[in-house]
Structure 1
Amino acid sequence: MATPNHLTRYYADVDAGDIDAAQARLHPEVTFAIHLPAGSRRGTTSEEMVRYLRDRGPVDRAHRPLRTGVDDDLEFVYGAVVEDGVTTTGHFLAAVRVVDGLITRYQVSFDVELALLGVDA
Protein backbone atom coordinates (compact mmCIF):
# COMPACT_ATOMS: atom_id res chain seq x y z
CA MET A 1 0.00 0.00 0.00
CA ALA A 2 1.23 3.49 -0.84
CA THR A 3 2.14 5.89 1.96
CA PRO A 4 1.13 9.55 1.45
CA ASN A 5 4.00 11.92 0.71
CA HIS A 6 4.45 15.20 -1.20
CA LEU A 7 4.18 13.43 -4.55
CA THR A 8 1.04 11.42 -3.74
CA ARG A 9 -0.59 14.58 -2.39
CA TYR A 10 0.38 16.40 -5.60
CA TYR A 11 -1.29 13.65 -7.66
CA ALA A 12 -4.40 13.81 -5.47
CA ASP A 13 -4.66 17.56 -6.15
CA VAL A 14 -4.19 17.06 -9.92
CA ASP A 15 -6.75 14.24 -9.98
CA ALA A 16 -9.26 16.40 -8.08
CA GLY A 17 -8.79 19.14 -10.67
CA ASP A 18 -7.32 21.48 -8.06
CA ILE A 19 -4.43 22.72 -10.17
CA ASP A 20 -3.85 25.71 -7.88
CA ALA A 21 -3.29 23.37 -4.91
CA ALA A 22 -0.99 21.20 -7.05
CA GLN A 23 1.01 24.28 -8.05
CA ALA A 24 1.33 25.31 -4.40
CA ARG A 25 3.30 22.07 -3.85
CA LEU A 26 5.84 23.06 -6.54
CA HIS A 27 8.83 25.34 -6.17
CA PRO A 28 8.43 28.28 -8.59
CA GLU A 29 11.61 27.12 -10.36
CA VAL A 30 10.80 23.40 -10.47
CA THR A 31 12.67 21.50 -13.16
CA PHE A 32 10.62 18.71 -14.70
CA ALA A 33 10.62 15.98 -17.31
CA ILE A 34 7.42 14.15 -18.22
CA HIS A 35 8.02 11.15 -20.49
CA LEU A 36 4.93 9.86 -22.31
CA PRO A 37 4.53 7.48 -25.24
CA ALA A 38 3.85 10.49 -27.51
CA GLY A 39 7.00 12.33 -26.41
CA SER A 40 8.54 14.26 -23.56
CA ARG A 41 7.67 17.58 -21.96
CA ARG A 42 10.34 19.50 -20.08
CA GLY A 43 10.40 22.78 -18.25
CA THR A 44 11.98 24.84 -15.51
CA THR A 45 9.08 26.66 -13.83
CA SER A 46 5.88 25.78 -12.03
CA GLU A 47 4.04 27.98 -14.56
CA GLU A 48 5.24 25.72 -17.39
CA MET A 49 4.17 22.61 -15.50
CA VAL A 50 0.75 24.09 -14.74
CA ARG A 51 0.37 25.12 -18.39
CA TYR A 52 0.98 21.49 -19.37
CA LEU A 53 -1.68 20.33 -16.89
CA ARG A 54 -4.24 22.91 -18.03
CA ASP A 55 -3.56 22.26 -21.74
CA ARG A 56 -4.64 18.64 -21.28
CA GLY A 57 -8.22 19.85 -20.91
CA PRO A 58 -10.81 17.99 -18.85
CA VAL A 59 -9.71 14.45 -18.06
CA ASP A 60 -11.36 11.68 -16.10
CA ARG A 61 -8.25 9.91 -14.94
CA ALA A 62 -6.61 9.24 -11.62
CA HIS A 63 -3.17 8.28 -10.41
CA ARG A 64 -3.42 5.19 -8.20
CA PRO A 65 -0.17 4.90 -6.21
CA LEU A 66 0.75 1.26 -5.60
CA ARG A 67 4.17 1.71 -3.98
CA THR A 68 6.00 4.67 -2.49
CA GLY A 69 9.43 5.27 -1.08
CA VAL A 70 11.26 8.09 0.61
CA ASP A 71 15.01 8.46 1.00
CA ASP A 72 15.94 11.75 2.64
CA ASP A 73 14.89 14.46 0.15
CA LEU A 74 13.85 12.05 -2.64
CA GLU A 75 10.39 10.53 -3.00
CA PHE A 76 9.31 7.78 -5.39
CA VAL A 77 5.90 6.57 -6.52
CA TYR A 78 4.94 3.66 -8.76
CA GLY A 79 1.31 3.36 -9.75
CA ALA A 80 -1.44 2.92 -12.28
CA VAL A 81 -3.31 5.53 -14.26
CA VAL A 82 -7.03 4.73 -14.27
CA GLU A 83 -9.62 6.33 -16.54
CA ASP A 84 -13.34 6.47 -15.80
CA GLY A 85 -12.61 4.89 -12.43
CA VAL A 86 -12.23 1.49 -14.06
CA THR A 87 -9.83 1.18 -17.00
CA THR A 88 -6.09 1.04 -16.33
CA THR A 89 -4.42 2.81 -19.25
CA GLY A 90 -0.84 2.29 -18.10
CA HIS A 91 1.64 2.63 -15.26
CA PHE A 92 3.91 5.41 -14.10
CA LEU A 93 7.14 5.67 -12.17
CA ALA A 94 7.81 9.10 -10.68
CA ALA A 95 10.48 10.68 -8.53
CA VAL A 96 10.77 14.11 -6.97
CA ARG A 97 13.23 16.04 -4.89
CA VAL A 98 11.65 17.97 -2.03
CA VAL A 99 13.35 20.99 -0.43
CA ASP A 100 11.69 23.02 2.32
CA GLY A 101 8.40 21.23 1.66
CA LEU A 102 8.29 22.04 -2.06
CA ILE A 103 8.91 19.84 -5.10
CA THR A 104 12.04 21.23 -6.80
CA ARG A 105 12.66 18.42 -9.32
CA TYR A 106 10.07 16.12 -10.92
CA GLN A 107 10.59 13.21 -13.30
CA VAL A 108 7.95 10.76 -14.45
CA SER A 109 7.74 8.03 -17.08
CA PHE A 110 4.44 6.54 -18.22
CA ASP A 111 4.15 3.28 -20.14
CA VAL A 112 1.02 1.72 -21.61
CA GLU A 113 2.45 -1.81 -21.83
CA LEU A 114 4.85 -2.60 -19.00
CA ALA A 115 3.52 -3.22 -15.50
CA LEU A 116 6.03 -3.88 -12.73
CA LEU A 117 3.34 -5.33 -10.47
CA GLY A 118 0.57 -7.78 -11.27
CA VAL A 119 -3.12 -7.16 -10.76
CA ASP A 120 -2.85 -8.55 -7.22
CA ALA A 121 -0.51 -5.70 -6.19
Structure 2
Amino acid sequence: MSETTLARYYRAVDEDRLDDALAMLDPDVRFTIVLPAGARRGLGRTEMGGYLGARGVSNRAHVVLRQSRDADVEFVYGKVTEGPTTTGRFLSGVRLGADGLIASYQVTFDTDHVLVEDR
Protein backbone atom coordinates (compact mmCIF):
# COMPACT_ATOMS: atom_id res chain seq x y z
CA MET A 1 0.00 0.00 0.00
CA SER A 2 1.23 3.48 -0.79
CA GLU A 3 1.61 6.02 1.98
CA THR A 4 -1.66 7.59 3.13
CA THR A 5 -2.42 11.29 2.89
CA LEU A 6 -2.64 11.26 6.69
CA ALA A 7 0.91 9.89 7.07
CA ARG A 8 2.18 12.57 4.66
CA TYR A 9 0.30 15.21 6.70
CA TYR A 10 2.03 14.12 9.92
CA ARG A 11 5.44 14.17 8.23
CA ALA A 12 4.84 17.76 7.03
CA VAL A 13 3.76 18.83 10.53
CA ASP A 14 6.82 17.17 12.12
CA GLU A 15 9.15 18.83 9.61
CA ASP A 16 7.60 22.23 10.45
CA ARG A 17 6.22 22.53 6.92
CA LEU A 18 2.89 23.83 8.19
CA ASP A 19 1.92 25.43 4.87
CA ASP A 20 2.34 22.05 3.16
CA ALA A 21 0.33 20.32 5.91
CA LEU A 22 -2.46 22.88 5.74
CA ALA A 23 -2.60 22.57 1.94
CA MET A 24 -3.68 18.95 2.47
CA LEU A 25 -6.78 20.15 4.34
CA ASP A 26 -10.06 21.23 2.81
CA PRO A 27 -10.66 24.94 3.57
CA ASP A 28 -13.75 23.88 5.59
CA VAL A 29 -12.18 20.86 7.34
CA ARG A 30 -13.93 19.74 10.53
CA PHE A 31 -11.61 18.44 13.23
CA THR A 32 -11.56 16.96 16.70
CA ILE A 33 -8.34 16.50 18.67
CA VAL A 34 -8.78 14.48 21.88
CA LEU A 35 -5.90 14.89 24.35
CA PRO A 36 -5.65 13.85 28.00
CA ALA A 37 -6.43 17.46 29.01
CA GLY A 38 -9.60 17.58 26.92
CA ALA A 39 -10.95 17.83 23.40
CA ARG A 40 -10.36 20.59 20.87
CA ARG A 41 -12.94 20.90 18.11
CA GLY A 42 -12.79 23.24 15.20
CA LEU A 43 -13.79 24.14 11.70
CA GLY A 44 -11.61 25.34 8.86
CA ARG A 45 -8.07 25.32 7.63
CA THR A 46 -7.40 28.70 9.28
CA GLU A 47 -8.46 27.47 12.72
CA MET A 48 -6.35 24.31 12.35
CA GLY A 49 -3.42 26.48 11.30
CA GLY A 50 -3.83 28.54 14.47
CA TYR A 51 -3.80 25.38 16.58
CA LEU A 52 -0.71 23.98 14.86
CA GLY A 53 1.13 27.30 14.98
CA ALA A 54 0.49 27.71 18.70
CA ARG A 55 2.14 24.37 19.46
CA GLY A 56 5.58 25.78 18.71
CA VAL A 57 8.52 24.01 17.12
CA SER A 58 9.84 21.01 19.00
CA ASN A 59 11.56 17.74 18.37
CA ARG A 60 8.16 16.02 18.39
CA ALA A 61 7.56 13.29 15.82
CA HIS A 62 4.59 11.15 14.84
CA VAL A 63 5.98 7.68 14.18
CA VAL A 64 3.47 5.82 12.03
CA LEU A 65 3.24 2.14 13.00
CA ARG A 66 0.15 1.18 10.98
CA GLN A 67 -1.86 2.84 8.23
CA SER A 68 -4.81 1.77 6.16
CA ARG A 69 -7.20 3.10 3.56
CA ASP A 70 -10.75 2.12 2.62
CA ALA A 71 -12.11 4.21 -0.25
CA ASP A 72 -12.28 7.80 1.08
CA VAL A 73 -11.33 6.98 4.70
CA GLU A 74 -7.80 6.60 6.10
CA PHE A 75 -6.57 5.48 9.52
CA VAL A 76 -3.16 5.81 11.16
CA TYR A 77 -1.88 4.43 14.45
CA GLY A 78 1.48 5.37 15.90
CA LYS A 79 3.52 6.79 18.70
CA VAL A 80 4.54 10.34 19.45
CA THR A 81 8.13 10.91 20.44
CA GLU A 82 10.00 13.88 21.89
CA GLY A 83 13.59 13.09 21.03
CA PRO A 84 14.24 9.52 22.17
CA THR A 85 11.25 9.43 24.56
CA THR A 86 7.83 8.08 23.61
CA THR A 87 5.21 10.38 25.13
CA GLY A 88 2.12 8.44 24.03
CA ARG A 89 0.20 6.77 21.24
CA PHE A 90 -2.25 8.21 18.73
CA LEU A 91 -5.06 6.83 16.61
CA SER A 92 -6.38 9.08 13.88
CA GLY A 93 -8.77 8.94 10.99
CA VAL A 94 -9.68 11.20 8.12
CA ARG A 95 -12.27 11.36 5.40
CA LEU A 96 -11.01 12.63 2.07
CA GLY A 97 -13.13 14.76 -0.21
CA ALA A 98 -13.51 14.09 -3.93
CA ASP A 99 -10.53 16.43 -4.49
CA GLY A 100 -8.29 14.32 -2.22
CA LEU A 101 -8.14 16.94 0.54
CA ILE A 102 -8.80 16.05 4.18
CA ALA A 103 -12.44 17.04 4.78
CA SER A 104 -12.79 15.62 8.30
CA TYR A 105 -10.06 14.75 10.85
CA GLN A 106 -10.21 13.07 14.23
CA VAL A 107 -7.35 12.02 16.50
CA THR A 108 -7.05 10.63 20.01
CA PHE A 109 -3.82 10.66 22.01
CA ASP A 110 -3.18 8.63 25.14
CA THR A 111 -0.07 8.58 27.30
CA ASP A 112 -0.57 5.06 28.69
CA HIS A 113 -2.49 2.66 26.48
CA VAL A 114 -0.58 0.69 23.83
CA LEU A 115 -2.86 -0.78 21.15
CA VAL A 116 -0.03 -2.08 18.94
CA GLU A 117 3.55 -2.69 20.01
CA ASP A 118 6.41 -1.13 18.05
CA ARG A 119 7.71 -3.19 15.17
Q: What is the TM-score when the length of structure 1 is the normalising length?
A: 0.94
Give SS of 2:11's match. Answer: helix
Per-residue deviation at 1:117?
Answer: 1.5
Per-residue deviation at 1:51?
Answer: 0.4
Whole-Å separation in 1 of the counterparts to 2:48 and 2:2: 24
Counterpart in the other structure of 1:71:
70
Give SS of 2:7's match. Answer: helix
Whole-Å separation in 2 of the counterparts to 1:23 and 1:117: 28
Contact 1:32 1:107 in 2 (8 A): yes
Q: Which runs of 5+ in 2 are unaligned?
A: none
Per-residue deviation at 1:47?
Answer: 0.6
Number of equivalenced pairs:
118
* Aligned amino acid, residue 110 of structure 1: F
Per-residue deviation at 1:90?
Answer: 0.3
Per-residue deviation at 1:101?
Answer: 1.1
Matches within 5 A, 1:37-116: 37-84=36-83, 86-99=84-97, 100-116=99-115
Counterpart in the other structure of 1:26:
25
Counterpart in the other structure of 1:10:
9
Compute the RMSD of aligned alpha carbons.
1.1
Whole-Å separation in 1 of the counterparts to 2:60 and 2:25: 21
Whole-Å separation in 2 of the counterparts to 1:23 and 1:104: 12
Whole-Å separation in 1 of the counterparts to 2:114 and 2:77: 10
Whole-Å separation in 2 of the counterparts to 1:118 and 1:58: 27
Per-residue deviation at 1:3?
Answer: 4.9
Taking only the aligned residue pairs, the percentage that are identical comes to 50
After superposition, give the CA deviation of every residue in 1:27-61 in whole Å (9 maximum; x if it has no partner). Answer: 00000000001111111101111100001112210
Whole-Å separation in 2 of the counterparts to 1:8 and 1:91: 15
Per-residue deviation at 1:118?
Answer: 2.2
* Aligned amino acid, residue 82 of structure 1: T
